[in-house]
Structure 1
Amino acid sequence: MGAKVVTDDTFVSDVLQSDKPVLVDFWAEWCQPCRKVSPVLEEIANEMGDRVRIVKVNIDENPETTRAYRVMSVPTLTIFKGGQPVQSVAGAKPKGDLVRLIESAL
């Protein structure tokens, strides 16, 4: 399954209108820690399946969404539930921390 790429144009339909919690990975191509987080998110997406949606927003290609959620550093991982951001962490975190972040919104 894996993480879906989301853009400024699709953020509302893919994240805010989702019927399940969504973990948004705000990332950038040049960001080394982002590269470490990406495979971990893929694992989580495969393990948690239909309980959560995991999406990626490239901050350089999607400035509107990045500004709207005041993303100042990457990676920033924000969990959305019912169209609202409920919790956010910045920096590359271990898998267990990310799973707990997601489970807090389930």
Structure 2
Amino acid sequence: MLAVNNETFAANVRQTGVTMVDFNTQWCPPCKVLKPILEELDTSYGDKLSVLEVNCDESPELAGQFGVMANPTVIVFHNGEPVEKLVGLRPKSVYESLLSRYV
């Protein structure tokens, strides 16, 4: 899972394929629970998926650009375009089901 910010975000969202972006904060307990789930998905999907994380405290412009109002928020990008948004912590199976539509 790669941490990105305002300057590195665009260069790291795949223009072909699937990117999952976790908008979080360091102090958010559900964000801490979600991180290992997303790391596991990143590993299990290999080259089919890129998982990025954005610290909303450090990159509030990015959070605002994508309408992130609560943490954690996960946005799935397909071919560089946002296609799905999940707000709040969900079970791993929900993220897998969401990814199955695009991977």
For structure 1, the residue ranges without an aligned partner over 5 or more in a row are none
Task: Work out whether residues 79 and 105 of structure 1, in 8 Å CA contact, stay in contact via their aligned partners in 2.
Answer: no
Cα shift readout 1:7-54 (whole Å, capped 9, x = no counterpart): 110111101x53221000000011000000000111111111111100
Q: Which residue of 1 aligns with 2:44?
A: 47
Moved over 6 A (4+): none
Alpha-carbon shift at residue 100 of structure 1 (Å): 1.2
CA drift at 1:101: 1.4
Q: How does 1:65-84 map to 2 (within 5 A)?
A: 65-84=62-81
Work out the CA distance in 1 between the residues paired with 2:15 and 2:24. Answer: 21
TM-score by length of 2: 0.95
Once the two structures are aligned, what percentage of the paired residues are identical? 34
1:85: which partner in 2?
82
Unaligned runs of 5+ in 2: none
Which of 82, 91, 97 in structure 2 is aligned with 1:94?
Answer: 91
Amino acid at match of 1:11: F
Residue in 2 that maps onto 1:18: 15
Partner residue of 1:103? 100
Return the alpha-carbon distance in structure 2 between the equivalents of residues 101 and 6 of structure 1: 22
Contact 1:86 1:105 in 2 (8 A): no
Q: Give me the CA root mean square deviation.
A: 1.0
